[in-house]
Amino acid sequence: MTRALTLVLLVACSPAEEETPVALPTIWGVETLADEDPAEDVVEVSLTAIQDRTYIDGVASPMWSYNYLVPGPLIQARVGDTVRVNLTNELAEPTTVHWHGLRIDNAMDGVPAVQDPVQPGGTFTYEFVVPDSGTFWYHPHVRGHEQVERGLQGSMVIHEEDVLPYDVERYFVLDDILLDGSNQVMGGFTPVGGMTAMHGRLGNTLMFNGKFDPLEDEVRSGTRERWRIVNTSNARTLSIDVADARWQVIAIDGNLLPAPMAGEGPIRLEVGRRFDLEVLPVDGAELQVVVPTTDGEAAYPAFQGTLVDEGEPPEFLFTQGPAAPVMEEVQQELTVTLDATSGPNGVEFTINGLHYGEGDAIPVAANTPTRIIIEETTGLEHPFHLHGQFFQLVSREVGGPFMPGSLDTLLVDPGERVELYTDFSNPGRWMAHCHILEHAETGMMTEFDVQ
């Protein structure tokens, strides 16, 4: 009897029976930072912001970068992990890192309102627990109109507790950049004025994961792929489409949708927005970037997948996600008016008649059902981005596409009135701004003091 009991205990405690986390997938298209901490629930990485020593697509250019990479390296973690990022600033000016879309502790948001910018030669350690899975990205929030344009932008993926078993995962960073004939970033960042102030800095060259030419790889029939896509442009609204494959949208701004959206492109990808697509290669799989032109629009291939025949086309893996948060009876209402005024260099943008820094943060109650009314009065488009919170689109009046699920970015069309819903579940001092970086630089930012 004792021997039998001993055997049972050995089997119950056998390492083969212990539950171990599923390995994180290798994500194609971006270089992943190595985890420096052996603990299973801690991811520690090092980032260095570097100036004037980077090649772009094989040509020497005075790009700025994280770890000599444009775009910067991928950070991967799981929901609930502690993420620790050791930043070293080798720029000639202060900088920070903002974690776009993450609902983390306010002190780690990387904006000057809550963090002293990291001075040249200085260091800072960001440490936070990630509460949400999804596709995110990171970038400076100090003089972002120049630092992001020059190359300081990187990707981040927080995986679900149960990693969805896709055969391949890819990350696509779509950007436009303003270059001269020698592939050098054109100047003219300060002061922000003229047409650049009005429309934002529009590039003349598209980049796909830091390359000018389409990315290429083999794709296989009979497999399922997950494509994570972000638009990191300073100002240009893009659209995306997929050719030679069946596809659907499974997540927006990192959040899995309650139900997938059918792949019927092109779909609008505003600045800062992320789409996750499930792609089933059929005759290949081509990611197309659609850019408005004076004559209509032009499509450029960002990725060309060459088909390798391997098996019968499968059905979609993703059929249903978590239910959208329930919108309860509204208890507070806020109005955000996107407006403009004249300044010494031309048009300057404001929120509720104030440049950023001219007024106090807007006080709001935390964990309170809230209606946010956004009114656009400038006759221009503005991608509205809210830090530290998710919101839902309730209604819009001009006719832009309806976006389901939980969002952190929404393109407000010229003259539009938009109604959003949030519960401000994450207390702190959170920025809200237009993600056309030149508009933000000239004043179209405010803060919510979530008390």
Q: What is the mean pLDDT of residues 237-251?
A: 97
The b-or-e profile of 367-394 (16+ CB within 10 A means b, else e) is ebbbbbebbbebebbbbbbbbbbbbbbe
Question: Where among 159, 176, 201 does a domain terminate?
Answer: 159
pLDDT at 64 over 90: yes
pLDDT at 8 over 50: no
Per-residue pLDDT band at 230 (split at 50, 70, 90)? very high
Domain-located, residue 232? yes
Domain-located, residue 278? yes
Domain-located, residue 390? yes
Q: What residues make up the domain containing 196?
A: 168-308
Q: What is the mean pLDDT of residues 98-113?
A: 96
CA distance linking residue 98 with residue 138, whole number of Å: 6
Question: Any idea which residue has 């943060």 for tokens?
Answer: 361
User: What is the pLDDT at residue 90?
Assistant: 97
pLDDT at 92 over 90: yes
- Tell me, yes or no, whether 46 and 114 share the same domain: yes
Q: What is the mean pLDDT of residues 293-321?
A: 90
Domain count of the fold of the chain: 3
Cα–chain-centroid distance for residue 171? 11
Cα-trace Rg, the chain = 23
- Tell me, yes or no, whether 173 and 304 share the same domain: yes
CA distance linking residue 133 with residue 276, whole number of Å: 12
- Tell me, yes or no, whether 132 and 181 share the same domain: no
Cis peptide before 281, with omega less than 30 degrees from 0? no
- In 3D space, the residue among 296, 425, 289 whose CA is nearest the CA of residue 364 turns out to be 425
- In 3D space, the residue among 132, 141, 123, 116 whose CA is nearest the CA of residue 83 turns out to be 132
User: What is the pLDDT at residue 20?
Assistant: 58
As given in the structure block, the two tokens for residue 316 are 């979609």
What percent of the chain has a predicted confidence (pLDDT) above 70?
95
- Tell me, yes or no, whether 343 and 443 share the same domain: yes
Q: How many Å is the maximal CA-CA distance in the chain? A: 91
- Tell me, yes or no, whether 346 and 418 share the same domain: yes
Q: What is the pLDDT of residues 338-374, one digit of tens each?
A: 999 998 888 999 999 999 999 889 999 999 999 999 9
- Tell me, yes or no, whether 268 and 193 share the same domain: yes
Instruction: Assess contact for 155 and 137: CB atoms under 8 A.
Output: yes
Domain-located, residue 13? no
Which positions ≥6 away from 147 have C-beta within 8 Å?
A: 64, 91, 95, 139, 140
Q: Looking at 7-21, 157-171, 360-374, which range is the least confident one? A: 7-21
The letter for the amino acid at 44 is E
More confident residue, 400 or 203: 203
Q: Give the pairing of strands 154-159 and 134-139.
A: antiparallel
User: What is the pLDDT at residue 426?
Assistant: 96
Q: What is the mean pLDDT of residues 396-401?
A: 83
Backbone φ and ψ of 89, nearest 5°: -100, 110
pLDDT at 221 over 90: yes
pLDDT at 394 over 50: yes
More confident residue, 206 or 399: 206
**CA dist 179 → 185, 203, 220, 284, 312 (Å):** 5, 7, 36, 32, 44
Question: Where among 129, 159, 189 does a domain terminate?
Answer: 159
Domain-located, residue 414? yes
Q: What is the dihedral of CA 301, 305, 307, 311, to 10 degrees?
A: -120
Per-residue pLDDT band at 21 (split at 50, 70, 90)? low
Instruction: Assess contact for 61 and 55: CB atoms under 8 A.
Output: yes
Q: What is the mean pLDDT of residues 7-23?
A: 47
- In 3D space, the residue among 122, 126, 71 whose CA is nearest the CA of residue 95 turns out to be 122
Per-residue pLDDT band at 19 (split at 50, 70, 90)? low
- Tell me, yes or no, whether 384 and 431 share the same domain: yes
Domain-located, residue 417? yes
Per-residue pLDDT band at 1 (split at 50, 70, 90)? very low
Domain-located, residue 237? yes
CA distance linking residue 430 with residue 110, whole number of Å: 11
Q: Give the pairing of strands 72-78 and 154-159.
A: parallel
As given in the structure block, the two tokens for residue 61 are 């250019």
Q: What is the pLDDT of residues 189-208, one digit of tens each?
A: 999 989 999 999 999 999 99
What percent of the chain has a predicted confidence (pLDDT) above 90?
81
- Tell me, yes or no, whether 176 and 139 share the same domain: no
393 DSSP 8-state letter: E
- Tell me, yes or no, whether 101 and 175 share the same domain: no
Which positions ≥6 away from 94 have C-beta within 8 Å?
A: 117, 118, 119, 120, 142
Q: What is the domain-level CATH number for residue 434?
A: 2.60.40.420
CA distance linking residue 429 with residue 145, whole number of Å: 22
Question: Where among 104, 131, 159 does a domain terminate?
Answer: 159
- Tell me, yes or no, whether 117 and 207 share the same domain: no
Q: What is the mean pLDDT of residues 289-298?
A: 87
User: What is the pLDDT at residue 2?
Assistant: 36
CA distance linking residue 323 with residue 332, whole number of Å: 24
As given in the structure block, the two tokens for residue 113 are 């309102």
Domain-located, residue 433? yes
pTM, full prediction = 0.92
As given in the structure block, the two tokens for residue 431 are 């920025």
Q: What is the mean pLDDT of residues 116-142?
A: 97
More confident residue, 298 or 7: 298
- Tell me, yes or no, whether 32 and 151 share the same domain: yes
Mean of the per-residue pLDDT values of the chain: 92
- Tell me, yes or no, whether 282 and 174 share the same domain: yes
pLDDT at 290 over 60: yes
User: What is the pLDDT at residue 236?
Assistant: 96
Reduced to 3 states (helix: H, G, I; strand: E, B; else coil), residue 86 is strand
CA distance linking residue 137 with residue 126, whole number of Å: 15
